[in-house]
Chain A
Amino acid sequence: MISANEFILFYSEIFKYLDNNFGKEDVDKLWEGIKNTYCQKIDAIIKEKGLKGMYEYWSKTLAEEGGKYHLTLTDDEFIIDMHYCPSMGKLLNTHVEPYGDYCGHCPALYNEIIEKYGFKADFYIINRDKGECRLHVRKK
């Protein structure tokens, strides 16, 4: 069994393998497939609860994954200030060199789902090598 904690290392490596052998379009195709297959939970909770649903979803998943972050929820906004990404953190603390566009999987998985329910999602990579980023969601 590849453990859940080791998964991230294989996740990054398959991006490299696909990119090297079949091009970045194939990585994008993989992300599209993951979004369509494994993001129904977040889709449903955003559809039902909007910004509160985003807060609820990421409160649970980030608590499980670890990392250092701050979540902000107001009537009009939801913000993830990621100070140390748990996913990138696993790569930064091992010998495994992260895929160049590793952070690209986050907006690829979530932005379209968020925006189809009347929100604008902006994703900022602040420092990939420190696992710092920001997701800022606003009502349109």
Chain B
Amino acid sequence: MDDYIYSQSVHKDFHGVMSYLIKFIRDNHGEQHMETFFTQAAIYIYKPLIERIKKNNLIEMKKHLEKVFTMEGGKFDIDYKNGEIIFKVHRCPAIWHMKDHNNEVDKDFCKCSTELVNKAIAKECGYSFSVEYNQEKGQCIQRFWEAK
């Protein structure tokens, strides 16, 4: 993302409102609109990141993930080699902030905020993306690799 976003102070209560946005659009307008919104918004919002990945490859995604998860106090391991990122999240700061504050975590939280968003970014750059997540535990394993 833009440097401005990386340098700002963090107000983690916004994760709870994100969860509500997901619930609102799905419950009022259906899953198709939920998926369309997060896919389209990701391509527009992450345009600077997408351009950097196209120019410099997945090292830019690695830097992005490290920055945002470090800013929010997440616990993770990230490995980048042979053109592939393997990103293991042991404690997701968004999920655990909501759980710690007794906020409802929408059932599609990880699907929207990780799967749809990162898949859209990867596809725009000519890469593939997969994720296995356990939303209840706030854990996931994300992979980015070159699309064949």
Chain A residues at the B interface, C-beta cutoff of 8 Å: 1-11, 13-14, 17-18, 21-22, 26, 29-30, 33-34, 37-38, 61, 63-66, 86, 90, 93-96
Least CB distance, A125 to chain B, in whole angstroms? 21
15 contacts between A and B (CB under 8 A): A1-B114, A2-B18, A3-B10, A4-B12, A5-B6, A10-B41, A10-B45, A13-B44, A14-B25, A26-B28, A29-B28, A38-B17, A66-B9, A86-B9, A93-B4
Least CB distance, B62 to chain A, in whole angstroms? 15
Within 8 A of A (CB), among B48-89: 48, 68-69, 71-72, 74, 89
Q: Is B94 interfacial (CB-CB < 8 Å)? A: yes
Q: Which residues of A contact B6 (CB under 8 A)?
A: 5
Q: Which residues of B contact A1 (CB under 8 A)?
A: 68-69, 72, 74, 89, 92-94, 113-114
Q: Which residues of B contact A6 (CB under 8 A)?
A: 1, 5, 45, 68
Total CB contacts across the A-B interface at under 8 A: 113
Q: Tell whether, in the assembled complex, residue A30 and residue B21 are in contact, meaning their CB atoms are under 8 Å apart.
A: yes
Assuming the contacts A3-B72, A90-B8, asked whether A95 and B18 have C-beta atoms less than 8 A apart, the reply is no
Of chain A, the residue at the smallest CB distance from B101 is: A41
B: interface residue count bin: 35 or more
Q: Tell whether, in the assembled complex, residue A34 and residue B114 are in contact, meaning their CB atoms are under 8 Å apart.
A: no
Per a CB cutoff under 8 Å, which of B28, B41, B68, B103 touches A3? Answer: B68
Q: Which residues of A contact B10 (CB under 8 A)?
A: 3-5, 64
Least CB distance, A32 to chain B, in whole angstroms? 10
Besides A1-B72, A4-B72, A17-B41, 20 more A-B contacts (Cβ < 8 Å) are: A1-B92, A1-B93, A2-B117, A3-B71, A5-B8, A5-B10, A5-B71, A7-B15, A21-B29, A34-B17, A37-B20, A38-B17, A64-B9, A90-B5, A93-B2, A93-B5, A94-B5, A94-B48, A95-B2, A95-B47
